[in-house]
């Protein structure tokens, strides 16, 4: 292994990357390669590597600098060394040590069965607010479907410790379950805040067990500087990786439908997959982002062993205008072929962005 005289946080500082979120061993920044301004690039401080969950670019710290300036790796290495050792630093440069997030000890991820039991029990303690139910009905779901899928509204922050104590009294494991962490007073709690209030969407694996949860925010989180997309972040994972003894859920693939189906559709977003499944009666796998496909490989291997023959890519219709979404779709085809399955692209009237919107319009026209 090469012992570099600098780390990836030095490179990030040279590139003036905007840090959006900090975790124990990594930070999330804007991506200088695709230009996305929502903090989709993960920079691993320990491993000195990066990956953008939007455009899919990844590699080491030399490659990050080289790709940002469109130069070769050897020139990038010389530029970095020259900048760091000659004092030719950009305005606002901070040393690597100053960029390191505070040390936080995380838990290991609990067993899948424990995660499912704890999150199922937690959801059983919560209610679904009226406006959230109305939103789901407007998307085309029936009340029975809404109840079966298990959507709930986030609880008030002041109830978090009480809910956690109830779970522990019931024998549920909270250590290693995404969202739970050990507070400063030594008591376990769960990470729900007023700022991140919204609707909880259970994310289930191909076996039907809950792997984690996403929150569809009532108020999208926008960049304080006014940059980034106009709507802001609409979804957050229920995660506690930046808390003591907390843990991240990662980005598990959501599955709904028959795992032995001949054809399985792949789209982006758990809620979208749920709605499309209910409207179409088809099996769906949902990734958290168009290029966030690392955990889809295992799902495809299991589908192939179960008899699935066809993967239908059903990303939003901006795949024809957004090269990042298009690149993610191409990776789905290659992954399907890797396991001997055929692949097909699904298209529809571009007036409707997502497959759920399109299917809802067809249902409404049918009713009319």
Alpha carbon distance 125, 131 (integer Å)? 19
**Residue 105: per-residue pLDDT:** 82
Report the length, in residues, of the chain. Answer: 368
At what angle are helices 160-169 and 112-125 packed, to 10 degrees?
Answer: 120
**Residue 229: per-residue pLDDT:** 46
Measured in degrees and rounded to the nearest 5, phi and psi for residue 20 equal -95, -40
What is 254-367's CATH number? Answer: 3.40.1360.10
Alpha carbon distance 213, 237 (integer Å)? 6
**Residue 228: per-residue pLDDT:** 46
Kindly give the parts of the chain with pLDDT less than 50.
Answer: 95-100, 225-229
Alpha carbon distance 212, 118 (integer Å)? 10
**Residue 93: per-residue pLDDT:** 56
The DSSP symbol for 161 reads H
CA distances (Å), origin 213, targets 90, 153, 262, 289: 40, 12, 27, 15
pLDDT tens profile 31-74: 888 888 888 899 999 899 999 888 888 899 999 998 888 888 88
Q: Which CATH topology does 112-237 take?
A: DNA primase DNAg catalytic core, N-terminal domain (3.90.980)
> DSSP 3-state assignment of 313?
strand
**Residue 97: per-residue pLDDT:** 42
Question: Hey, what are 303's tokens?
Answer: 């589908």
Question: What are the domain boundaries of the chain?
Answer: 8-99, 112-237, 254-367
**Residue 92: per-residue pLDDT:** 58
> DSSP 3-state assignment of 51?
strand
CATH architecture classification, 8-99: Alpha-Beta Complex (3.90)
**Residue 226: per-residue pLDDT:** 46
**Residue 231: per-residue pLDDT:** 60
Of the candidates 324, 308, 303, 317, the residue with the CA atom closest to the CA atom of residue 354: 317
β partners of residue 255:
285
pTM: 0.79
């Amino acid at each position: 292994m090469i012992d570099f005289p600098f780390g990836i946080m030095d490179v990030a500082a040279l590139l003036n990357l905007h840090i959006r979120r900090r975790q124990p061993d990594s930070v999330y920044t804007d991506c200088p390669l695709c230009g996305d301004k929502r903090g989709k690039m993960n920079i691993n401080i320990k491993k000195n590597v990066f990956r953008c969950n939007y455009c899919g670019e990844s590699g080491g710290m030399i490659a990050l600098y080289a790709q940002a300036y469109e130069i070769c790796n050897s020139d990038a290495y010389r530029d970095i060394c020259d900048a760091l050792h000659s004092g030719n630093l950009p305005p606002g440069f901070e040393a690597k040590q100053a960029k390191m997030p505070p040390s936080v000890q995380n838990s290991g991820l609990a067993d899948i069965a424990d995660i499912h039991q704890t999150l199922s029990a937690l959801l059983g303690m919560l209610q679904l607010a009226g406006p959230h139910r109305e939103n789901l009905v407007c998307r085309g779901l029936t009340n029975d479907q809404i109840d079966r899928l298990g959507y709930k509204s986030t609880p008030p922050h002041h109830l978090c410790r009480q809910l956690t104590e109830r779970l522990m009294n019931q024998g549920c494991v909270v250590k290693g379950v995404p969202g739970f962490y050990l507070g400063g007073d030594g008591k376990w709690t769960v990470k729900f805040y007023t700022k991140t209030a919204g609707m909880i969407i259970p994310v289930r694996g191909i076996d039907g067990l809950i792997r984690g949860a996403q929150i569809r925010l009532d108020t999208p989180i926008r960049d304080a500087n006014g940059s980034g997309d106009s709507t802001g972040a609409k979804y957050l994972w229920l995660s506690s990786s930046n808390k003591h003894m907390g843990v991240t859920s990662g980005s598990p693939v959501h599955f709904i439908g028959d795992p032995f189906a001949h054809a399985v559709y792949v789209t982006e977003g758990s809620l979208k997959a749920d709605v499309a499944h209910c409207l179409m009666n088809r099996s769906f796998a949902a990734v958290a982002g168009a290029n966030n496909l690392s955990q889809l490989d295992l799902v495809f291997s299991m589908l192939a062993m179960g008899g699935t023959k066809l993967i239908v890519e059903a990303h939003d219709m901006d795949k024809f205008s957004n090269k990042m979404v298009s690149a993610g779709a191409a990776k789905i085809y290659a992954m399907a072929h890797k396991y001997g399955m055929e692949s097909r692209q699904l298209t529809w009237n571009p007036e409707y962005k997502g497959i759920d919107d399109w299917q809802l319009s067809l249902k409404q026209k049918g009713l009319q």
